[in-house]
């Protein structure tokens, strides 16, 4: 057994917005990865447009810094439970974790989710209490909460004796005690080198690489990323790819390691290195790249199953093909199956219709990120209402449960409890944290569909909610859906101020004047619980009669503009969201007014 003393592999895990990506930024800057004159953006690791806009990490990223002749491979992981598939695989590449915790918020639900995975794998944790420069920091309380969390998750004695660093990542400062003076991250880097175990294994044994991430490159095809568990890898080396019982001969093309934010081509790499390999053809996550003479498989990776599914279909509205570049079923199908290659928590199934696909993922965010990405790439599609993935367990219909944690000011507690009560949520725990009530519920996953926007309205934007997968339980009975019907346009045309003005009393409008609409398009929410067919294109009759009110200005109430997530939450089973690069529209599945009427009668 050999030890690579010059190498450390560490993952940064934390809840959303606790500063992981900012800390990696500071490490990169202080290790002089960037040239003195180089322009560098903040949160340099969040390279994806959506990541930068939302301030969340969706894809795990690899980087490396040099510190006192020791190479430290750092993997920045997603904090969102919807991207749990990413987290789980990444932890197979490292020997320790930096657990980042906000000095005010303390450990949050998704901290718990990722930490549990890390402790189960026996990884060495270092706790970094970040944002100590916050005026409302409560460092001592947070330390106690972290200790309680470790005990709750069944950490062993060695893991419970975790070292703690206090940091302000944005300022690039870390210290071992709150009273210490420091102007850089050296205390954290020294501790990391000392505490995170160096990679151990057989330096000269037969090659084994576990593929944990895939990347796509338009020039070289699929790029397999993983850690060398044993032996050495060389460019142009003959290998065997092991997938279960199937062994396939292949040849490594180019071999890369990470240096700063870049991949650097190398001739060979050894035990413990995180490498990117090209030329291996149809390789996938969980496969083992093994020595051609002595192929031995590594244990496969378990990934959380999808809990939510939606239908993705070709756009069939009258506006189809007018705003997007990719509009056919072949385009949509190829794009979805390409996504499955790198997005392992996703499932895509073909349906009876060649134009419709069933896509299952870890949550609304997971699926809406995919839809948003596709629309930005120029795709047009229509998607159905999110539905949970049921399972038959011991002959009984079971549904997924989620652990929901909510933080609200006390005055909103009643409305939130009432709203969750109708959604079959059960209160498991309640505590007070710095003037906020923290409530933990167990709730069916389908009870969360559409809850986020209602929650933000009920709390006037002051609430925080997070949820993680809990398990499957027997079906808990019906949950009431949307209480109000839709206002549906019954002809094609362009909306008018007068037409919208005449409808304002009927409900909340989703459209503005001079906007094209079509028959079957949902243009607003009715005040009553039934759908209503209306005409927003109505023009005022021109006559030579003057009335006393004719010169009064038409005053329009501003429309409610729905984001993609809000639109997905809003629709009912007989409705769809039409997504194009230009717009997000709501529509009835059956556009024809007369046909919808006949369908309603046949159901009765």
Its pTM stands at: 0.68
**H helices within 280-401, ranges in order?**
329-342, 364-376
Q: Which two tokens stand for residue 196?
A: 């995170």
Residues annotated as binding site? Answer: 17-22, 130-133
Q: Which two tokens stand for residue 125?
A: 């944790």
By C-alpha distance, which of 197, 43, 21 is closest to 126?
Answer: 197
For residues 26 and 52, give the distance between their C-alpha atoms in angstroms, rounded to a whole number.
Answer: 17
Nearest to 103 by CA among 182, 15, 10, 195: 15
Q: Given this model, what pLDDT does residue 479 score?
A: 81
Is 281 or 61 the better-scoring residue by pLDDT?
281
| CA–centroid distance for 207 within its chain | 34
Q: What radius of gyration do the chain's Cα atoms show?
A: 27
Residue-wise over 108-119: b if at least 16 C-beta within 10 A, else e?
A: bbbbbbbbbbbb
Taking only the tens place, the pLDDT of each residue in 227-279 is: 888 888 888 888 888 887 788 888 888 888 888 777 888 888 888 888 888 88
Q: What are the structural domains of the chain?
A: 2-200 (3.40.50.300), 202-291 (2.40.30.10), 308-388 (3.30.70.870), 391-474 (3.30.70.240), 486-603 (2.40.50.250)
CB atoms within 10 A of CB 517: 25
Q: Which residue has the tokens 């304002």?
A: 504
Q: How far is CA 319 from the centre of its chain?
A: 30
Q: How far apart are CA 436 and CA 23, in angstroms?
A: 27
Give the model's pLDDT for residue 46: 39
Query: Tokens in use for 315?
Result: 């756009």
pLDDT of residue 577: 93
According to DSSP, the β-strands at 124-130 and 96-102 are parallel
pLDDT for res 59: 39
Q: Please state, in angstroms and rounded to a whole number, the distance separating the CA atoms of residues 412 and 455.
A: 10
pLDDT of res. 321:
87
Binding residues for GTP: 17-22, 130-133
In a 13 Å sphere around the CA of 59, the CA atoms on its Cβ side amount to 20
Arithmetic mean of pLDDT, 369-397: 89
Q: How far is CA 417 from CA 391, 413, 414, 440, 566, in A?
A: 28, 6, 5, 11, 21
Quick: pLDDT tens for 548-599. 455 456 788 888 888 888 888 888 888 999 999 998 999 999 888 888 888 8
Task: Summarize pLDDT for 281-312 with one digit per residue, the tens.
Answer: 777 777 888 888 888 888 776 666 788 899 99
Which pLDDT band holds residue 507 (cuts at 50, 70, 90)? confident
pLDDT digits (tens, 9 = 90+) for 347-359: 899 989 889 999 9
| pLDDT, tens only, 513-552 | 899 999 999 999 988 888 899 998 888 766 655 554 554 5
Among the residue ranges 138-142, 257-261, 510-514, the one predicted with the least confidence is 257-261
Place of tokens 């930068």: 52
How far, in Å, CA of 5 to CA of 378, rounded? 48
Weakest mean pLDDT among 60-64, 125-129, 478-482, 541-545: 541-545
To which H or E segment does residue 460 belong?
Answer: none
pLDDT recorded at residue 588: 92
What local confidence, expressed as pLDDT, does residue 543 receive? Answer: 61
On the 0-12 / 13-18 / 19+ scale of CB atoms within 10 A, 357 is: buried
Tell me the average pLDDT across 140-150: 86
What is the enclosing helix (H) or strand (E) of 545?
none
- Can you tell me the distance from the alpha carbon of 478 to that of 461, in angstroms, rounded to the nearest whole number? 28
Query: How far does Cα 220 stand from its chain's mean position?
Result: 27
């Amino acid at each position: 057994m050999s030890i690579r003393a010059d190498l450390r592999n560490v993952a940064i895990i934390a809840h959303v917005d606790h500063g992981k990506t900012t800390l990696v930024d500071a490490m990169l800057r202080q290790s002089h990865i960037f040239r003195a004159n180089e322009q560098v953006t903040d949160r340099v690791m969040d390279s994806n447009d959506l990541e930068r806009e939302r301030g969340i990490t969706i894809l795990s990223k690899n980087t490396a810094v040099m510190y006192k002749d020791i190479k430290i491979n750092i993997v920045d992981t997603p904090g969102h439970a919807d991207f749990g598939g990413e987290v789980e695989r990444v932890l197979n590449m490292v020997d320790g974790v930096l657990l980042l915790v906000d000095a005010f918020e303390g450990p949050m639900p998704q901290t718990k989710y990722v930490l549990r995975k890390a402790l189960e794998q026996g990884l060495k944790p270092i706790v970094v209490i970040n944002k100590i420069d916050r005026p409302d920091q409560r460092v001592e309380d947070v330390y106690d909460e972290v200790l309680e969390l470790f005990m709750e998750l069944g950490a062993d004695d060695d893991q419970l004796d975790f070292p703690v660093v206090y940091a302000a990542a944005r300022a690039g400062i870390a210290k071992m005690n709150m009273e210490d003076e420091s102007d850089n991250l050296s205390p954290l880097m020294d501790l990391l080198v000392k505490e995170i175990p160096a990679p151990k294994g057989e330096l000269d044994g037969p090659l084994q690489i576990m593929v944990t991430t895939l990347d796509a490159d338009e020039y070289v095809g699929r790029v397999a990323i993983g850690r060398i568990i044993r032996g050495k890898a060389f460019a142009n080396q003959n290998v065997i790819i092991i997938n279960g019982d199937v062994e396939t001969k292949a040849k490594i093309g180019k071999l890369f390691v990470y240096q700063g934010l870049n991949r650097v081509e190398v001739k060979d790499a050894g035990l413990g290195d995180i490498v990117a390999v090209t030329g291996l053809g149809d390789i996938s996550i969980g496969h083992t790249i093994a020595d051609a003479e002595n192929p031995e498989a590594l244990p496969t990776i378990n990934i959380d199953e999808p809990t939510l599914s939606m239908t993705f279909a070709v756009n069939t509205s009258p506006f189809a093909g007018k705003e997007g570049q990719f509009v056919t079923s072949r385009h949509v199908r190829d794009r979805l199956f390409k996504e499955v290659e790198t997005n392992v928590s996703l499932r895509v199934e073909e349906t009876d219709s060649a134009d419709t696909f069933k896509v299952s993922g870890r949550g609304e965010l997971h699926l809406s990120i995919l839809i948003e990405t596709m629309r930005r790439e120029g795709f047009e599609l229509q998607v159905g209402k999110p539905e949970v993935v049921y399972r038959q367990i011991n002959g009984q219909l079971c549904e997924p449960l989620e652990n929901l944690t909510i933080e609200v000011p006390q005055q909103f507690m009643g409305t939130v409890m009432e709203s969750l009560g109708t959604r079959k949520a059960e209160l498991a725990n309640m505590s007070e944290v710095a003037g906020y009530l923290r409530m933990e519920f167990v709730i069916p996953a389908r009870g969360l569909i559409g809850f986020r926007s209602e929650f933000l309205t009920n709390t006037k934007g002051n609430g925080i909610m997070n949820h993680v997968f809990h398990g499957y339980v027997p079906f808990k009975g019906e949950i009431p859906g949307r209480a109000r019907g839709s206002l549906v346009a019954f002809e094609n045309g362009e909306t008018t101020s007068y037409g919208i003005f005449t409808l304002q009393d009927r409900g909340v409008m989703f459209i503005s004047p001079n906007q094209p609409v079509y028959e079957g398009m949902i243009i607003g929410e009715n005040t009553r619980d039934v759908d209503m067919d209306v005409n927003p294109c109505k023009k005022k009759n021109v006559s030579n009669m003057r009335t006393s009110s004719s010169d009064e200005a038409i005053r329009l109430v501003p429309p409610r503009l729905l984001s993609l997530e809000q639109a997905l939450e809003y629709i009912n089973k007989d409705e769809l969201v039409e997504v194009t690069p230009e717009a997000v529209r709501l529509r009835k599945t059956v556009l024809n007014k007369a046909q919808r009427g006949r369908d309603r009668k046949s159901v009765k």
